[in-house]
Structure 1
Amino acid sequence: MSATVQPHRDARWLALLVLCLGMLMIVLDMTIVNVALPAIRDDLGFTQTSLAWVVNAYLIAFGGLLLLAGRVGDLIGRKRMFLTGLGVFTVASALCGAAVTPEMLIGARFLQGVGGAMATAVTLGMIVTMFPERDEQARAIGVFSFVAAAGASIGLLAGGVLTQALNWHWIFFVNIPIGIGAALLTARLVRADHGIGFGAGADVTGAGLVTAALMLGVYTIVKTEEYGWDSAHTLILGPIAAALLAAFVARQRTAANPLLPLRVFRSRNVTGANAIQILMVAGMFGMFFLGTLYMQQVLGYDALEIGLGFLPTALAIGGLSVGLSARLITRFGARRVLLPGLTLVLAGLALFTRAPVDGGYLADVLPSVLLMGIGAGLAFPSMMTLAMSGATESDAGLASGLVNTTAQVGGALGLAVLATLSTARTADLRAAGVAEPDALTSGFRLAFGIGAVLVALALGLAVTVLRSAAEPDADRDPVTVH
């Protein structure tokens, strides 16, 4: 390799690390806050009901804006969108840390979600355009997958450390130097792109429809734990969100410059990978949340012990995503790597359904979290490779935003469904006179079992929908979007 090429290649990998640093800050924030919620409630005077909005305000903004932010990034330039998102997220983090009232914290969390969506939506698109060669792209996506998948468990550990060693304000303040550093390094190391422009004009109507549909949909899902799935609240708002989404799809068929060109979905691999991700993330996200409650409420672990308990998952995902998964995808194709990954995640969830009331970590928790970590380390890079396989230079941000949107919807839906059913099972058993630890454990087991069913459905889709990769490039199904 010539001396003139090497610095460029080195700069790309440094740029990748910088992008992942910004992404890690945002991913960590999704779980690091959960550990600090009791301290936030006591300090700011939240009620138990209003406390949920510390999480929900972020989720609604983040999930509702991902698709829009990804497409706007294609139009105005993905680097510009990423830097703007980092700036908004960093300022919002400072406001969160300085919050002295519940209203101030909830408003700042919503703003955090806006910034997080702007930066996250375009990150994967920037990576795949930066690394167009198949083997390098597989390795780069592996690094991104590690950050995206392992960040949840790392966040639990970081939240426990910061909350216990300092106070809850620092889970937000720690983002300020990270955000500033990531922005400065991005401006220096990441190549600028000018975007494709607005052409025939922005699809303002489509943007309004999809943002309203996703925000209302995420809001409806996260509130089912409070209102129930069969409540008037859910039965009214759910169909409204679906109708808005249907109107958006109809609009995309006729818009001169559609926000989401429907030709993206011609690829079976792109469509299938996003559907698989919804199911897999739904199963795994519920496991992280309810597994945390199992360790806390049944096994008696504190916040730091819970974080350490999930650390093997992060280590397994990291060890596979950054190295082995990329080599396997390059050699065998993403589909062939995805199948055993989903199988291992399924096995881990199935094993968790046997968790006992008097369980021990080594015998009853570690085997499950290790299996799921290994499986996720194989599955996430494969899914992202397939989901981005149809992306071109002009629509990489859109494809990236779509991938992140399906992950977010899957997480919100999985948590709502599994938490609701788990709570209902526990309440029924308590009403029947069953002791609280047994009732809680039974509810958690039910949730883990349903999570396993969701992953089994994902595995079925992977077998039947995704295209076989007889040749090294056969799992790529390019889609040209103008």
Structure 2
Amino acid sequence: MKSKWAALALLTTTQFVLILDLTIVAIAMPPMGRELNLTQQDLSWMTSAYSLVFGGVLLLGGRLADHLGRRRIFVAGMALFAAASLAGSLASSGELLVAVRALQGLGGAMIAPAALSLVMTVFKDDPALTKALGLWGAVGGIGASAGVVLGGLLTDWFGWRSVFFVNVPVGVVVSLLAFVLLPAARSTEARRGFDVAGAVTSTAGLALLMYALVDASEAGWASARTLGVGALALALIAAFLLIERRSANPLMPLGVFRRPLLRAGNVLMFLVASAMQPVFFILTLYTQLVLGYSATQSGLSVVAISVTIAVTASTLGGRALARYGLRATAATGMAFITAGAALYLRIDVGSDFLTVLLPSELLTGLGFGLLVVAATVAATSDAAPSESGMVSGLFNVTQQVGIAMGIAALVSIASAVTGDATAAESLVSGYRVAFLIATALSALGLVAALVLLPRRTASEVREPVTTSA
């Protein structure tokens, strides 16, 4: 029998690469811009193109995994991701790099939901599922911080092209090992066709929503372009929901939202993503623009977050969930996150890392390590085998929209407070307001955990689901 833990190692490695790729390219942007004569707006599309396609196609990617086979979609996405990365390492223009980032986002949108649903398939009815999900969450936390550090080191040593090329051998090896270690899982239900209208409206609606959120941080929330794109996105999403109500074989059965655990898990992940990812982003700005850290030093300064997430999620998250249940584990995690976010309000123009930043990083890392296990179990535990790709895609969509909305809102607000000033004191004032909002969002997440989640343990929530409506 194929080793479950070897399969998990392969899948978590893939998750690490996807999360890492969200941040590794950002560190390489300054030398990339100098070599290719790119403006700041050109560089911003390196991140935006990836986020738009990744967030927009996630739900479709999850459902394709259910229909066509999870391993098949996983390998196809990994191959596309590796090929796009190779093209990026050879790119000679900004336009080509933007196209590469879009293709990487498409590959990631196929990989992410397929990989999580494969974890659920491999550990189906296994008490070790909670531990596996803890490791999954830990790797995600590591990837975000590791991208900043690794991006700085690779750029300094080998040049900016290396941040693309590093994905190529990983993609090739993972694709080959997938046929050896992963099951060819797919839905066994008879399908009467694919929901093309739902696929088109959901993909276009989510992509345009991501674009509006990204654009809001640049053009402003009240700009005509942001409002127009946002309105079109909401109209498409409304059309998608109407189509799903009437479809005989919907892309996303709306009945899943009647499941309290699924709702709670997605609400919690949305709130924590919209609160904590902007904190991570603003810390990289604060340490470089105010404290004068280099890119590599800035990356190293946030390593404590990822290490704490990794240790907590892989060792304490599953145990706490098994012993104390969903509500207590998630609420405790949100309490630590809220306390850590509040401590960031102490930042100043000359803050000391050990006394000001490190305590906050340890608290938020500890809290996220507990929260991510509980939220993932809650959001996915009620899924029938035929729905695991769709449910995984929905969970990833929730996270991506939360990240995009949180960064757009908090960065816009911080910029509004700072205005045109570039003095360190003005920048700190804007960052403090952003941290205050992040604290409020985390506190709202704490309330949501207490109100929405039951006290059941991990084993009690994993009951088989027989319907998809």
Give me the TM-score of the superposition, normalised by structure 2: 0.97
Alignment correspondent of 1:300: 292
CA contact (8 A) 2:148 2:299 kept: yes
Alignment correspondent of 1:468: 455
CA contact (8 A) 1:264 1:479 kept: no
Correspondent of 2:434 among 436, 447, 459? 447
CA distance in 1, matches of 2:209, 2:158: 36
Deviation of residue 478 (structure 1)? 4.3
Correspondent of 1:362 among 335, 344, 354? 354
Alignment correspondent of 1:232: 224
Alignment correspondent of 1:4: none
Deviation of residue 475 (structure 1)? 7.6
Deviations 1:100-139 (CA, angstroms, capped at 9, x unpaired): 1011111111001000110012211111121123530001
Alignment correspondent of 2:184: 192
2:51 is the counterpart of 1:59:
yes
Q: Which amino acid aligns with 2:427?
A: L
CA contact (8 A) 2:317 2:369 kept: yes
Deviation of residue 259 (structure 1)? 0.2
Correspondent of 1:122 among 106, 114, 118? 114
Alignment correspondent of 2:424: 437
Q: Which amino acid aligns with 1:110?
A: A
CA distance in 2, matches of 1:456, 1:477: 33
SS at match of 1:168: coil
* Stretches of structure 2 lacking an aligned partner (at least 5 in a row): none
CA contact (8 A) 2:61 2:393 kept: yes
Aligned pairs for 1:42-441 (under 5 A) are 42-133=34-125, 135-196=127-188, 199-427=191-419, 430=421, 436-441=423-428
Q: Which amino acid aligns with 1:388?
A: T
Q: Which amino acid aligns with 2:403?
A: G
Matched pairs, number: 469
CA contact (8 A) 1:267 1:477 kept: no
Give me the TM-score of the superposition, normalised by structure 1: 0.95
Q: Tell me: CA distance 1:138–1:116, structure 2 relative to 1, closer, same or farther (3 Å).
A: same
Q: Tell me: CA distance 1:134–1:445, structure 2 relative to 1, closer, same or farther (3 Å).
A: farther
CA distance in 2, matches of 1:475, 1:69: 24
CA distance in 1, matches of 2:274, 2:389: 24
Q: Which amino acid aligns with 1:231?
A: S
Deviations 1:369-420 (CA, angstroms, capped at 9, x unpaired): 1111111111111110111011111110011101111000000000000000
CA distance in 2, matches of 1:118, 1:308: 31
SS at match of 1:195: coil
Q: Which amino acid aligns with 1:461?
A: A
Deviations 1:326-374 (CA, angstroms, capped at 9, x unpaired): 1111222222211110110111110001111111110111111111111
Q: Tell me: CA distance 1:46–1:471, structure 2 relative to 1, closer, same or farther (3 Å).
A: closer
CA contact (8 A) 1:390 1:479 kept: no
Q: Tell me: CA distance 1:339–1:44, structure 2 relative to 1, closer, same or farther (3 Å).
A: same
RMSD, aligned α-carbons: 1.6
CA distance in 2, matches of 1:349, 1:233: 33
Deviation of residue 323 (structure 1)? 1.6
CA contact (8 A) 1:467 1:475 kept: no
Q: Tell me: CA distance 1:451–1:12, structure 2 relative to 1, closer, same or farther (3 Å).
A: same
Alignment correspondent of 1:3: none
CA contact (8 A) 1:357 1:438 kept: yes
CA distance in 1, matches of 2:404, 2:457: 36
* Stretches of structure 1 lacking an aligned partner (at least 5 in a row): 1-6
Deviation of residue 26 (structure 1)? 1.2
Q: Tell me: CA distance 1:471–1:46, structure 2 relative to 1, closer, same or farther (3 Å).
A: closer
Deviations 1:59-107 (CA, angstroms, capped at 9, x unpaired): 1010000000001100111111100000000000001111110111111
Q: Which amino acid aligns with 2:149?
A: L
CA distance in 1, matches of 2:319, 2:194: 41
CA contact (8 A) 2:86 2:164 kept: yes
CA distance in 1, matches of 2:170, 2:458: 42
Q: Tell me: CA distance 1:245–1:209, structure 2 relative to 1, closer, same or farther (3 Å).
A: same
SS at match of 1:94: helix
Correspondent of 1:35 among 3, 14, 27? 27
Q: Which amino acid aligns with 1:93?
A: S
Q: Which amino acid aligns with 2:295?
A: A
Q: Which amino acid aligns with 1:173?
A: F
Q: Which amino acid aligns with 1:349?
A: A
CA distance in 2, matches of 1:86, 1:60: 18
Q: Which amino acid aligns with 1:82?
A: F
SS at match of 2:456: coil
CA contact (8 A) 1:339 1:463 kept: yes
Alignment correspondent of 2:16: 24
CA contact (8 A) 1:31 1:156 kept: yes
CA distance in 2, matches of 1:178, 1:361: 34
CA distance in 2, matches of 1:80, 1:471: 30
CA contact (8 A) 1:348 1:372 kept: yes
CA contact (8 A) 2:326 2:457 kept: no
Q: Which amino acid aligns with 2:193?
A: G
Deviation of residue 471 (structure 1)? 9.1
Q: Percent identity?
A: 38
CA distance in 1, matches of 2:120, 2:275: 27
CA distance in 2, matches of 1:331, 1:466: 15
Q: Tell me: CA distance 1:157–1:252, structure 2 relative to 1, closer, same or farther (3 Å).
A: same
CA distance in 2, matches of 1:360, 1:155: 24
Correspondent of 2:444 among 448, 457, 474? 457
CA contact (8 A) 1:85 1:119 kept: yes
Deviation of residue 467 (structure 1)? 2.4
